[in-house]
């Protein structure tokens, strides 16, 4: 992939070839991230394709996908680097047994213990290593991490480097492609956002969601694909606690196709509602709003060209 030949249009076409349909705004954001060598922060509802984009970028570019799944309490030891304490201890005992510790002195032995061969490289540090093709570093669900971890990442996101006190600064010769995702369970800090390009990933349009279902669920009929996409779109307008994303649309279409359905009806929707709505309160909201009317509205929507 030659960055000089990129444009938003070529990015959209390349992602399309990998089975990922995106709009002009997202294609432009990805293009700018690649050409400017800047991290990109993707925010949006869960299930709209943020994580999938990083996977597709890795397939397209041929770079390794290095995924860091964030969670509450994650720190540098899990995300960046750690020391192999068991190997360090074995080295220390071997040095003592052979007399090397006495002959070399404590300072020399301590320096040996913090040599690179005892360094355990986690996801972030691995992404900074030399590679034939730029790796894709996916920092997934950064909103789940703590403020302290966000602050630690600032050096990585701004300078593509990590400072290890015992060794020094490790800097990437060629910056990796960095994709951060957030479901916005909390706001990430301005300092992190300033170091990234930003794009809010919307739910897809009706036609694009239909096309996604067709591609991902090969045994679904055209009629069923349109009905499922329309019903999912209708449910998103009901102010649910967790509106269904593209992932749930695909799961629902797959389940209905596996059941041999060619069209939807109320009994079939009730039986499979747990495939698309994962909260009891959301299921009650849909059914209490008159499921028959919701289905009727969706069926009318599916007939619109």
Domain boundaries, the chain: 3-74+122-200, 81-118, 206-302
Task: Summarize the confidence of residues 230-250 as an average pLDDT.
Answer: 92
Closest C-alpha among 182, 158, 162, 180 to residue 170 = 162
- Residue 50: per-residue pLDDT: 96
pTM above 0.85, yes or no: yes
C-alpha to C-alpha distance for 109 and 91, rounded to whole angstroms? 9
- Residue 105: per-residue pLDDT: 55
Residue 305 reports pLDDT greater than 60: no
In words, the CATH class of domain 3-74+122-200 is alpha beta
Residue pair 70/145 in contact by the 8 Å Cβ criterion:
yes
Residue 2 confidence class, pLDDT cut points 50, 70, 90 = very low
Give the chain's mean pLDDT: 91
With b for 16 or more beta-carbon neighbours within 10 A and e for fewer, the 153-182 pattern comes to beebbeebebebeeeeebebeebbbbbbbb
Residue 109 reports pLDDT greater than 80: no
- Residue 189: per-residue pLDDT: 93
- Residue 139: per-residue pLDDT: 98
Residue 224 reports pLDDT greater than 90: yes
Of 34-38, 93-97, 156-160, the range with the lowest mean pLDDT is 93-97
Q: What is the pLDDT of residues 137-183, one digit of tens each?
A: 999 999 999 999 999 999 999 999 999 988 899 999 999 999 999 99
- Residue 95: per-residue pLDDT: 74
Closest C-alpha among 67, 217, 82, 87 to residue 137 = 67
C-alpha to C-alpha distance for 282 and 272, rounded to whole angstroms? 14
Edge-to-edge strand ranges of the sheet holding 65-69: 65-69, 136-140, 177-182, 40-43, 197-200
Reading the block at residue 215, the tokens are: 């591609």
Residue 25 reports pLDDT greater than 70: yes
Residue pair 69/183 in contact by the 8 Å Cβ criterion:
no
Task: Summarize the confidence of residues 3-15 as an average pLDDT.
Answer: 88
């Amino acid at each position: 992939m030659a960055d000089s030949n990129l444009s938003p249009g070529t990015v959209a076409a390349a992602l399309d070839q990998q089975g990922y349909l995106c709009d002009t705004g997202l294609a432009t954001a990805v293009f700018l991230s690649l050409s400017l060598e800047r991290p990109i922060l993707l925010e949006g509802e869960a299930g709209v394709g943020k994580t999938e984009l990083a996977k597709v970028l890795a397939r397209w570019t041929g770079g390794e996908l290095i995924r860091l799944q964030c969670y509450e309490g994650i720190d540098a030891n899990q995300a960046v680097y750690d020391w192999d304490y068991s190997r360090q201890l074995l080295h220390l005992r071997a040095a003592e047994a052979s007399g090397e510790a006495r002959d070399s002195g404590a300072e020399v032995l301590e320096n040996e213990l913090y040599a690179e061969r005892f360094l355990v490289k986690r996801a972030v540090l691995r992404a900074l290593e030399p590679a034939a093709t730029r790796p894709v570093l996916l920092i997934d669900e950064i909103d789940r991490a703590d403020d302290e971890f966000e602050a630690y990442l600032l050096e990585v996101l701004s300078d593509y480097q990590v400072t290890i006190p015992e060794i020094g600064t490790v800097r990437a010769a060629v910056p990796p492609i960095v994709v951060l995702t957030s479901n916005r369970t909390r706001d990430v800090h301005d300092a992190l956002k300033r170091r990234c390009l930003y794009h809010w990933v919307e739910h897809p349009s009706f036609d694009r969601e239909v096309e996604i279902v067709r591609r991902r669920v090969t045994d679904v009929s055209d009629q069923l694909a349109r009905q499922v996409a329309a019903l999912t779109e209708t449910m998103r307008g009901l102010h649910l606690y967790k509106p269904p994303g593209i992932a749930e649309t695909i799961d629902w279409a797959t389940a209905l196709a596996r059941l041999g359905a060619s069209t939807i009806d109320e009994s079939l929707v009730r039986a499979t509602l747990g495939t698309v709505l994962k909260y009891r309160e959301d299921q009650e909201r849909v059914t209490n709003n008159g499921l028959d009317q919701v289905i009727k509205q969706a069926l009318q929507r599916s007939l619109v060209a």
